[in-house]
Amino acid sequence: MADTSGYRIGIDVGGTFTDVVLISNETGNVSVAKVLNRHDDRAETVVSGIERLLGEANVEPADIDWISHGTTITTNAVIERKGAKTALITNKNFRDILEIGRFARPAELIYRVHEDKPSPLVPRYLRLGVSCRVDRHGDVVTELDETELAQAIAAIQAEGVESVAVCFLFSFLNPVHEARVRESLSAALPNLDIVLSSEILREFREFPRTATTVFAAYVAPVLRAYISGLLARLADRGINCPLYIFQSNGGVAQPEIVMRNPALTLLSGPAGAVVGAAQLCGQAGFRDLITMDIGGTSLDVCLIRGSVAEATTTREIDMFPVGIPMLDVHTIGAGGGSIVRVDDVGRVKVGPDSMGARPGPACYGLGGEQATLTDINLLMGLLDPATFANGEVPLDRARAEAAVAERVAGPLGVDVDAAAVGVYRVATNQIAEAIRTVTVERGSDPRDYALVAFGGGGPLHAAAVARELGVAQIIVPRHPGLFSARGIATADFNHDYIQSVVRPIAEVSAADVAAAFTALEGQAARDLDAEDVPADRRELAPALDLRYLGQTTEITVPLAESVADGFDDIIGEFHQLHERLYTYSVPDEPVELVNVRLRAVGSVDKPPLPPADGAGETPKPIGERPVLLPDLEGAQPVPVYRRDQLAPDAKLTGPAIIEEASSTTLVLANMDVAVDRFENMIITLRQPGQTP
């Protein structure tokens, strides 16, 4: 583990901007930079953001001793189909598993019968079957056919394949055939990226395991090239500290560990802000939270209970499963760059497609002609065209007005102002519906949580969304537009390990489970050793995946104590969790053990979060401007405040606009704002009849 006596950097590469934060490990002081992405050279964007911060903070490159980097490069490679040319080696007659899937149409396509699923990342001619078979007990019943393997390798070489995924039936129990394939591939093609399912996902269910292995292989050369290029450019600038890669599970890892399974970085982008919210809001006394992150391309929401974010292993990209542990962030296309249009039957739709950074919204003046949510916010008066993104991107109101008039107001037969307010209300409903997905649909009441708003656009929409949901409190942290980068900068090391068992628990002995955990603990020790994590900073969290015999889904039950004395306590906990999640349990039914899981955490020193002194003075607005408030008709004069003038204990009432470098906060009428000692803005919705 690196010595963290100087400065640390957190990087979040988003769809439109790259956010960089510089934090003093001694004082906790934070400096920030937001840089418009260069899509042809993301590494140069990152380095230029770091150089700008170092210059502004008067910090030498040698003083940087820790960089944590979150990136969307692998996700974008999949979505845009710009990954490596990839082949799949699997059992003979099983090469169509990616297209067969689960024998059911994805939910999104049930009523869209004229549409096909997205094509697999590996075309059929590069999905190669080889004769071999391991049975469900892990015993070899058919040896690997070396002649067929040689033919597959020859085909891979002839086609110029860059990466190979290897996934055999039941290899999670016995990986002998996958290991032999890698040995032969490496001997024939030493520069090939090779990913084995038995190393990245030792779990049953062939479709998710195969899809995840293919994802990892598809992005491996892309991620490797990016990391290598970034390290070289950092070294050229005299920055030689360790670089850690942020993962979807909310932790960081060494690049060498991540490259064993590059799928760990898929969907990692939104997780950084969730980690930051759990840490920073937890220190301020808020433990039950709904996170709401609106960036340039998407809205991401997540539920945090008791400072612990909800997790999942059932996410998808392009309708293909990614079977790795990750924070359960629900994403919809409702970001600042999301395109606003009116469909053929007159419905206003926001997203899911986005204009990205270039050409971006119409108001960017970079060639974009589509109306976007940023154009709407500008026309409503919520954004200052001269100070948007700290002045990095001056906004053109005339271009925004022309785009909204042509694409929205004209088709609806209304004026531009009415169109802007209407779109804002549609976006509010879409965001509220996304929050209901992670709360109401999973048995939680959003009114029991505080709403944490961040990202460049989160604070612009939080007040209207909170009013729609009945949420009583909104938290807007300092530097909300760079909150994800800040969370990434302070993330712990985090590794997840799994081994499928799939046996009735009555047939499993405590010794069997202990042996499985011992093997997983050995893997964890090797990874944490490689990251120089001291023994007293390591925490191992074992868990079992259980289900009623005959069920097709399981529940992860944390293992608080050893199972040496039997499984009665853990089974009882399973029944209770099943009752809470599904409103019923069946204590007399037999229970099946599905997976043994282990999470290994290496905690790192966190920069202090020093409380600021409170002035208690009522802030004065820097001016006012006409704003189209979503709950009122016509433009209203609204006072404008600077965030840096709101000291702790400061209070004000809405309506108000509060501006800062990375975001703008809208406060509606009947809402009160207070600043706590950690400089969070706490917005409270006043109850009917309640006075300020």
Place of tokens 């059911």: 104
What does the pLDDT read at residue 692? 60
Structure tokens, 583: 């409103």
Q: Which of the pair, 312 or 183, is modelled with greater confidence?
A: 183
What does the pLDDT read at residue 688? 66
Average pLDDT over residues 321-337: 86
Q: What is the pLDDT of residues 471-508, one digit of tens each?
A: 999 999 988 888 888 899 999 999 999 999 999 999 99
Average pLDDT over residues 343-355: 85
Q: What is the pLDDT of residues 216-250, one digit of tens each?
A: 999 999 999 999 999 999 999 999 999 999 999 99
Q: What is the pLDDT of residues 435-456, one digit of tens each?
A: 999 999 888 899 999 999 998 8
Lowest mean pLDDT among 93-102, 536-545, 561-570: 561-570
Q: Which of the pair, 112 or 128, is modelled with greater confidence?
A: 128
Domains of the chain, CATH where assigned: 7-77+224-265 (3.30.420.40), 82-213 (3.40.50), 271-326+427-489 (3.30.420.40), 338-425 (no CATH), 493-602 (3.30.1490), 623-685 (no CATH)
pLDDT band at 615 (very low <50, low <70, confident <90, very high): low
Q: What is the pLDDT of residues 152-175, one digit of tens each?
A: 999 999 999 999 999 999 999 999
Question: Do 34 and 15 contact (CB within 8 A), yes or no?
Answer: no
Strand partners, 623: 640
What does the pLDDT read at residue 36? 77
pLDDT band at 2 (very low <50, low <70, confident <90, very high): very low
Place of tokens 């995946």: 545
Burial of 623 (0-12, 13-18, 19+ CB in 10 A): exposed
Q: What is the pLDDT of residues 401-418, one digit of tens each?
A: 999 999 999 999 999 999
List the one residue out of 119, 123, 132, 116 whose CA is nearest residue 95: 123
Q: What percent of the chain has pLDDT over 90?
A: 65
Q: How far apart are CA 309 and CA 271, in angstroms?
A: 9
What does the pLDDT read at residue 403? 94
What does each C-alpha distance from 380 to 138, 205, 413, 423, 462 come to in angstroms?
Answer: 63, 50, 18, 10, 16
Q: How far apart are CA 612 and CA 360, in angstroms?
A: 38
Q: What is the pLDDT of residues 637-666, one digit of tens each?
A: 999 999 988 888 888 998 999 999 888 999
What does the pLDDT read at residue 590? 95
Average pLDDT over residues 278-292: 89
What does the pLDDT read at residue 691? 63
Q: What single-letter amino acid sits at 264?
A: L
CA 59 to chain centre: 30
Average pLDDT over residues 35-46: 80
Lowest mean pLDDT among 143-147, 280-284, 378-382, 676-680: 280-284
pTM over cut 0.75: yes
What does the pLDDT read at residue 4? 54
Q: How far apart are CA 603 and CA 582, in angstroms?
A: 34
What does the pLDDT read at residue 690? 66
pLDDT at 107 over 80: no
Question: Do 102 and 131 contact (CB within 8 A), yes or no?
Answer: no
Place of tokens 């204590």: 587
pLDDT at 72 over 60: yes
Q: Which of the pair, 490 or 692, is modelled with greater confidence?
A: 490
Work out the number of other CB atoms within 10 angstroms of the CB of residue 402: 17
Average pLDDT over residues 603-621: 79
What does the pLDDT read at residue 465? 96
pLDDT at 18 over 70: yes
pLDDT at 426 over 80: yes
What does the pLDDT read at residue 689? 60
At a CB cut-off of 8 Å and minimum separation 6, what does 178 contact?
166, 167, 168, 171, 196, 197, 198
Q: What single-letter amino acid sits at 515?
A: A
Average pLDDT over residues 303-324: 88
pLDDT at 396 over 60: yes
Q: How far apart are CA 243 and CA 67, in angstroms?
A: 5
Place of tokens 């390990």: 497
pLDDT band at 15 (very low <50, low <70, confident <90, very high): low
Strand partners, 663: none
List the one residue out of 425, 429, 441, 422 whose CA is nearest residue 469: 429
